[in-house]
Every structure is written in C-alpha cells, then in structure tokens.
Amino acid sequence: MRIQAIIISLALSFFSLVSMAGTGHDHGHSQPPITQNQAEERATKNVSQLIERGKVDKSWESIKATKSEKKKFGGNMEWVVTFNNASISDSSKQTLYVFLSLGGKYLGTNHTGN
C-alpha cells in the first residue's frame, strides 16, 4: 500500500509540473519557422480553443493580436503574441500572452509574458 501511495504521489507531482509548464517553454525545433502573420493566426486559434475549454473569458473572442515578437527564453527563441482586452475588470488579466515555438507549436499562455 505504501508503494502505491508513493507512486500516486510521484504521478501527481509530475502532472503538477507538467501543468505548470503549460506556461513554460517546450523548445521543439523540428518544424520550419513560421512568419509573424502565421504566429498571430495560430495564437488567435489558440485563444479560441482556450475560450471553448472555458480557460479564458468569451470576450477574448473578438480581440485581435496587438503585438507579436520573437523573444529569448532560457537561450531559446519563441514567438510571443500579445492580446489586450480592456473589457476585463481585473487589470492584471487584461493582457494575454500566447507562446509559440518558432515552428508554430503552442507552448502556453499566461498574463505575465514570462
């Protein structure tokens, strides 16, 4: 029974880390780089998926990307696409950052940009 508890604890710890890494940065580079326009299109699709899953408010549906740029995280370059939604009452949640690999793979979303 003790071994099962340890295994379950380890599994939960692993999934907790994976969950937190949703805003982290997986750096797969197997795909050719995408353009800035493609990054914005993919990020917009990711926001739509977040809305469908109830992760962000439906008001994000009509928000267009305000900025997209390549940034370095831990020595690796990523696309960071920024959306601003003034209709969100909590000012700390008005900006949404979508992270993509340079090849366009979705890496995560957060409100901090880090």
8 A C-beta contact, residue 63 and residue 72:
no
Rg over alpha carbons for the chain, rounded to the nearest Å, is: 16
Q: Residue 8: what pLDDT?
A: 54
**In the chain, what are the helix, strand and coil shares in percent, each to the nearest 5?**
40, 25, 30
Domain ranges of the chain: 2-110
> To which residue do tokens 């995560």 refer?
108
- Model-level pTM greater than 0.75? no
Q: Please give the chain's pLDDT, 114 residues, in tens.
A: 555 544 454 444 444 333 344 444 444 456 799 999 999 999 999 999 999 999 999 999 999 999 999 999 989 999 999 999 999 999 999 999 999 999 999 999 999 999
